[in-house]
Structure formats: structure tokens, C-alpha cells
Amino acid sequence: AQSVAQPEDQVNVAEGNPLTVKCTYSVSGNPYLFWYVQYPNRGLQFLLKYITGDNLVKGSYGFEAEFNKSQTSFHLKKPSALVSDSALYFCAVRARSYYGNNRLAFGKGNQVVVIP
């Protein structure tokens, strides 16, 4: 079964500094990887995904993530954090198998706090 680890509970970063949110995964075969963001009292918003191709994927709001197959990681990054980036971030993975289902496995989530 697929699983995701987000090792940190909270990530604190000063506004304007680089932001990194870590994610490692476990899945049989090649993965589909996703990042979602949840603002207070809101649902999940899709940020970006890795399906195939270039290991560096770019998404919404200036975020990007790098797929590293050897380290089974998919860390989320932003070069310069904004106070408005303060939110809960979820990494998710599912297997690519055509015969599997589309069940997504989510990490526990990381609270990002951007300090003005």
C-alpha cells in the first residue's frame, strides 16, 4: 500500500526566505505525486503534480517541487515565501497502475508559518 511521510509538524520561515516542505513516499511501481494546500476553513486546493517527464515541476503561486526517484522524495519549494503562504500543506501519492484504483494516500500535513 502507498504511504507518505512528512517529517516536520511545522515549518517556520521568514518572509522573503526560501521555503521547503519535505515529503517522502512509498509506492509499488511508478508514482503519481501531488501537493495540496489548505487555508483555514477551506477545502484542499491543488498546487502541482508529478506524473512523468521533467523531475522539476512548477505549480500555482510560484511553488515548485522536485521528484527524486532514488531518494523517493518530492519536496515542495518556493524561492521567496510570502505571509499569505501560511497554510497547511499536504503531500499525496498514488500508484500509477492501470489496474489499481485511484486511491490517494496523504501525508499528515505540514503547517507552514511565514513570519513577517
Please name the residue that has the C-alpha cell 503562504.
85
Smallest distance from another protein to CB 69, Å: 18
Do the Cβ atoms of 50 and 33 come closer than 8 Å?
yes
Among 21, 109, 112, 114, binds another protein (CB under 8 A): 109
Instruction: Determine, following the binding rule CB under 8 A, whether residue 90 of this chain makes contact with another protein.
Output: yes
Query: How many whole angstroms separate alpha carbon 38 and alpha carbon 106?
Result: 13
Nearer to another protein, 15 or 64 (CB): 64
Does the footprint of another protein cover residue 67 (CB under 8 A)? no
- Count of residues binding another protein (CB under 8 A)? 20
Residues with Cβ within 8 Å of 41's Cβ and at least 6 positions away in sequence, in order, are none
The C-alpha atoms of residue 116 and residue 97 are separated, in whole angstroms, by: 44
Q: Does 10 engage in binding with another protein (CB under 8 A)? A: no
Q: Is 42 a residue that touches another protein (CB under 8 A)? A: yes
Amino acid letter, 74: F
Element (H, E) at 81: none
| Residues at the interface with another protein (CB under 8 A) | 32, 34, 36, 41-46, 49, 51, 90, 101-104, 106-109
